Structure 1
Amino acid sequence: MDPQRIDAMPKSGQIGFVHLGLGAFHRAHQAVYLERYRQRSGDTAWGICSANLRASIGLVDGLSAAGHRYHVAEYADSDNITLREVGVIEETLFSGRDGAGNWSRDREALLVRMASADTRIVTLTVTEKGYFLNPANGELRVDDPMIIGDIASPQQPRTAPGLLVEALARRRETGIAPFTVLSCDNMPDNGKRTRQAVMQLAEHRDAELASWIANKVAFPCSMVDRIVPAMTDADFGRLAALDVTDPNAVVCEAFSQWVVEDHFPMGRPSWEAEGVEMVADVAPFETMKLRMLNGSHSLLAYLGALAGIETVFDGVNHAELRALLRRYMLEEAAPTLEMPAGIDLDAYADSLLARFANDSLRHRLQQIAMDGSQKLPQRWLSGALKRSAAGQSSPCVALGMAAWIRYTAGEDLLGNRYTVDDPLAARFASLHQAQGSDSAALVAAFLSMDDVVPRELAADKGFVQAVVAAYQTLTHDGLRGALAALDHN
């Protein structure tokens, strides 16, 4: 096996982007597009300063020690690999707590970088919970301790919205035009939601600042797509066999997509040649991906994890689960979408199943299962609500909700314990303890969480009954029994 090897461009030292959320996805997606753009165009003005806000100080320091170069292994399958060196990141910073627990380290350096006239675009991959928005109504969580801290000490921000507000305030005070804010997280209307978080936080600080942001700052929407599993020892072993010893390396699929609303008052790279789709309206593509790809991933995650299945590859090769995913995509998700002419949703569903079956990726279901309370409203529940309003049922989503509720107990159907990684994990544990073995009461308690489940959907008796029935079948008869019962619906 001899992979195609592509070296990075020489460093330029120029920074036009600041990115919040230095994780694997950013390094395998936005940074790769910009590296390819630099190599093709020779335009070196768009280097990146990437910052982590809360975790992974080791990655920040590791990349710095490596001269901000790392490798991305893009797998079409186990035998077709592109090994790409990326050097477009020029600086890495950490704005979270230091070893002594202080919020100091690089926060001021990050704010200075964001306030610089050289910074024209700020991008984000901070996950849904990083915006501190209520999933049910989109309002800023002003009761969250982190947001309370940003309101009390706005010049010492701890959150992504707080950093954006403070950096924009500094630019306003010095007469520098605002940067464009580009969310690259999996949220519907991610640009609008980012604007909502920033605007509401700014209003707590200064009405005139909030008005300036409303009138001057662009928040385009985007849709991103690339499967980037968390790195494992096996992944590093595979790279070592290719003579790559790089602790900052990332493994991902070969497929990549980026759809961006074309609204950049401060300019942008001409990255269309790299396949970035610049459009007037991202919403149809966002919703398609969230409901079909991400929704399928979540179905697989909760049902598969409960049955002891570890990866997407293993799950999609489970015949009944694969059939469930196809049924969900074509019968429940696709009919809720309003796509431009020429988009073949049947073909899209087939392409997703093929991507899930990539034998070179080991995307862990436990990774996908994280933060379900933040993800499921846009992945499942918005579509199910639309079907409910039209008098239609959503049995696949009902089964998914039953699996999610059971998953939040922290123990799979085989008796194996695991950590429930979710901002609402403590509330979930309290609900399970309070309701015990009363499945109907437990389901009712979860569906009554109106910061997760739309009230109109929770009021749909047919949907509630379907979740209760699926929960009981899943608990008593296991995964195969639950899937068999679904076949009769």
Structure 2
Amino acid sequence: MNITTVTSPITPEQHQAGIVHIGLGAFHRAHQAVYIENTLAKCGGDWALFSANIRSNVTLVEQLNEANNVFHVVEYADQNTATVREIRAMKEALFAGDAMGRQALVKRLADTHTKIVTMTVTEKGYFLSPATGQLQTDNADIQHDLANLESPKTIIGLLVQGLRLRREAGLEPFTVLCCDNMPHNGKRVQTAVVSFAKAFDAELAGWIEQQVAFPSSMVDRIVPAMTEADFAAIKQDTGIDSPTVVKCEQFSQWVVEDDFPQGRPQWEAFGVQMVADVSAYEMMKLRMLNGSHSLLAYLGPIACYETVAQAMTDPAIEQFLRFYMMQEVAPTLPSFDQQELEDYCSALIQRFKNDSLQHRLQQIAMDGSQKLPQRWLQGWCDLSQQGMARQATELGLAGWMLYVMQHQQAQTSINDPLQTTMFAAISQSENTAEKVASLLAMTDIFPALLADDTALCERISYLVTQLQQSPLQPTLSSLSS
């Protein structure tokens, strides 16, 4: 194993925590924290991290605290080459899943040193309807925060309470930077925050609309959930025996809309693309990379594959993904020329083949109801309006529906916020066609254009049956040939 070790030159005591990050998971540590680490090392500034979890994993926070919030990121180029980075950019890690922790987090949000709040809480953490993008004001957690804003549970309640306290204290607002995989993620979070604030205090909502910046961003790095086998492999490869270590691919990209009224780190010094408009990058990544990942997540297990790299050893799957990206996604991306898209497609195929990551398909399959509108359905609608074929996307939808049906029949969890609703809908249906129709009728997921399409229902019902009865590879080949 060829290992390159990068030791951190940072002394955290020399830097104030100017950024609060909410969602202290593996992706944050392997992506934003690495960019902050290298920016502080190169440019300095009071931009260290105060990172918090608000839902789960108090153990991780305790482990980070015991290690003085120092951890390592192992970037694998392949099974024989890796870079180990020591990260010291995190001044403090906090668990805010209880009342005391929430108060500490709110206090930090209201602190004069806080200039930026970033977040990775996954799509479902924003309580936005997947179909309409509007705040789900009837959600129990949102209702709790509206009634108990001094101790909020959700990211939306936390942001509003932090901004409310800053306004009352006469402080400038922090900038809100979403780092989750959603199109126009800045505007979507702004919609959620302003909608919540309007339900609480119209004047506060007006101030937020006028004063708070919500730039969008696109993040890209494959960071699998850590397993016991991963910890053992890292110990063998690098000698690091720590529960806070995280592994990822070597590739990393961050594209950020440059709108930070209170200042920002010099991210561009370490490769961040600061641009006026992120939307084209967002759409390309969501539909090509994330859309392909979802295809693998729901179709790969039908052929008994468990990881992305395993699935990519199958020539029929590779051909199918290339067909999907170049025939069904590329026509929906007018901002890029054909050569750029072909190069991106080929690069993604190579990244997916990185067998050092062991990126499990089960991890990607979670929260499908929240992911598919951005990854597949908007592109499906674009193709439909152009009168173009979309058979790869429809096969993906059939794979997802079969996945939901099989788990409902076995009464096993799919880790999706709409699981109960979906299971209840299909449990009342007697055959595959009825189950498909009941899922398509879920307006929380599907736009009316799809829900009312009887021909689509028939095609997906046929594909679900085909996936149940025939080997996967001939089906893929027949669609992508």
SS of residue matched to 1:3: strand
CA distance 1:328–1:313, shift in 2 (3 Å): same
Match of 1:354 among 328, 347, 350: 350
- 1:433 has 2:427 as partner: yes
Could you say what secondary structure the match of 2:99 adopts?
Answer: coil
Q: Which residue does 1:151 correspond to in 2?
A: 146
Q: State which drifts further: 340-349 or 74-83.
A: 340-349
Q: Distance in 2 between matches of 1:171 and 1:78?
A: 49
Which of 186, 209, 218 does residue 213 from structure 2 map onto? 218
- Give the equivalent residue in structure 1 for 2:267: 271
Query: How far 1:457 moved relative to its partner?
Result: 2.4
Matched residue, 1:445: 438
Residue in 2 that maps onto 1:94: 95
Q: Separation in 2 of the partners of 1:153 and 1:220?
A: 28
CA contact (8 A) 1:15 1:47 kept: yes
- C-alpha offsets along residues 27-63 of structure 1, whole Å, 9 cap, x if unaligned? 000000010111122x141110001010101111110
In the alignment, does 2:127 pair up with 1:132? yes
Report the secondary structure of 2:405's partner residue. Answer: coil
Q: 2:476 maps to which residue? A: 483
Shift of 1:11: 1.8
Deviation string for 1:399-432 (max 9, x for gaps)? 00010011013449xx998531101111222233
TM-score, with structure 2 as normaliser:
0.96
Equivalent residue for 1:6?
A: 6
State TM-score, norm by structure 1. Answer: 0.95
Residue number in structure 2 paired with 1:100: none
- Return the alpha-carbon distance in structure 2 between the equivalents of residues 231 and 417 of structure 1: 26
- Rate the CA distance shift 1:373–1:341 in 2: closer, same or farther, 3 A: same
> Cα offset for 1:338?
2.1
CA distance in 1, matches of 2:2, 2:415: 39
AA of the residue aligned to 2:50: C
Identity, in percent, stands at 48
1:337 matches 2:333:
yes
1: CA distance between counterparts of 2:205 and 2:406? 42
Q: What's the counterpart of residue 33 of structure 1? A: 35
Quick one: distance in 1 between partners of 2:336 and 2:305? 36
Alpha-carbon separation, structure 2, partners of 1:343 and 1:59:
43
Is 2:473 the counterpart of 1:472? Answer: no
Note if contact 1:393-1:462 (Cα within 8 Å) is conserved in structure 2: no
Is 1:388–2:384 an aligned residue pair? yes
Deviation at 1:395, TM superposition (A): 0.4
Alpha-carbon distance in structure 1 between the residues aligned to 2:387 and 2:429: 30
Q: 2:64 — aligned with what?
A: 63
**Alignment size in residue pairs:** 478
Confirm whether residue 420 of structure 1 aligns to residue 414 of structure 2. yes
Q: Partners in 2 of 1:342 and 1:475 — Cα distance?
A: 36
Structure 1 residue 461 displacement after superposition: 3.9
Q: Give the alignment of 1:250-265 within 5 angstroms.
A: 250-265=246-261
Other structure's SS at 2:191 match: helix
CA distance in structure 1 between the partners assigned to 2:319 and 2:407 by the alignment: 25
- CA 320–417 in structure 1, closer or farther in 2 if over 3 Å, else same: farther
Alignment partners' CA distance in 1, 2:296 and 2:285: 15
Distance 1:462 1:485 in 2: 20
Secondary structure of 2:444's match? coil
Q: Does 1:206 align with 2:201?
A: yes
1:219–1:452 Cα change, 3 Å:
same
Equivalent residue for 1:321? 317
| Residue type at the aligned position of 2:473 | R
Residues 145-203 of structure 1 deviation map (CA, whole Å, 9 limit, x = unaligned): 10010111122111000000000000000000000000000000000000001000000
For residues 340 and 460 of structure 2, what CA distance do their matches in structure 1 show?
A: 31
Offset, 1:483: 2.1
Shift of 1:377: 0.1
Q: Which structure 2 residues correspond to residues 289-308 of structure 1 after superposition, within 5 A?
A: 289-308=285-304
- Given that residues 310 and 355 in structure 2 are in contact (C-alpha distance below 8 angstroms), is that contact kept between their aligned partners in structure 1? no
| Cα offsets for 1:459-487 (capped at 9, x unmatched) | 33443332122111111214234324435
Range 192-201 or range 146-155, more displaced: 146-155
**Aligned-pair CA distance for 1:271:** 1.3
1:459 aligns with 2:429: no
Tell me how far 1:10 sits from its aligned partner: 2.0
> Secondary structure at the residue paired with 1:203?
helix
For residues 176 and 38 of structure 2, what CA distance do their matches in structure 1 show? 22
Q: Distance in 2 between matches of 1:363 and 1:63?
A: 24
In 1, the alpha carbon distance for the partners of 2:133 and 2:438 equals: 22
> Residues of 2 paired with 1:17 and 1:127: CA distance?
19
SS for the counterpart of 1:486 is helix
> For 1:123 and 1:389, how far apart are their aligned partners in 2?
36
1:99 alignment partner in structure 2: none
* 1:387 match: secondary structure: helix
- In structure 2, the partner of 1:117 is 112
Secondary structure of 2:335's aligned partner: coil
1:341 Cα deviation (Å)? 6.0
For 1:333 and 1:150, the matched residues in 2 are separated by 39
2:21 maps to a residue whose letter is H
Residue pair 2:12, 2:88 contacting (<8 A) in 1 also: yes
Matched, 1:78 2:79: yes
* Contact kept in structure 2, 1:393 and 1:463, CA below 8 Å: no
Find the aligned partners of 2:339 and 2:473 in 1 and give their Cα distance. Answer: 34
The CA deviation string for residues 282-330 of structure 1, in whole angstroms up to 9 with x for no partner, is 0000000000000000000001123321000001111111111110000
Which ranges of structure 2 fall in alignment gaps of 5 or more residues?
none
Secondary structure of 1:338's aligned partner = coil
Asked whether the equivalents of residues 45 and 265 of structure 2 are also in contact (C-alpha less than 8 Å), the reply is: no
Q: How has the CA–CA distance of structure 1 residues 340 and 396 changed in structure 2, closer, same or farther, with 3 Å as cutoff?
A: closer
Unaligned stretches of 5+ residues in structure 1 = 97-102
Change in Cα spacing, 1:343 to 1:265, as seen in structure 2 (3 Å) is farther
Deviation, 1:453, is: 0.8
CA contact (8 A) 1:388 1:460 kept: no
Aligned equivalents of 1:393, 1:340: Cα separation in 2: 20
| Aligned-partner SS, 2:84 | strand
For residues 364-423 of structure 1, the C-alpha deviation after alignment (integer angstroms, 9 at most, x for no partner) is 0000000000000000000001111122231011100010011013449xx998531101
| 1:247 and 2:240 aligned | no
Q: Distance in 2 between matches of 1:289 and 1:357?
A: 17
- Alignment equivalent of 1:189, drawn from 184, 188, 206: 184
Moved more, 10-19 or 447-456: 10-19
Distance in 2, matches of 1:333 and 1:78, equals 31
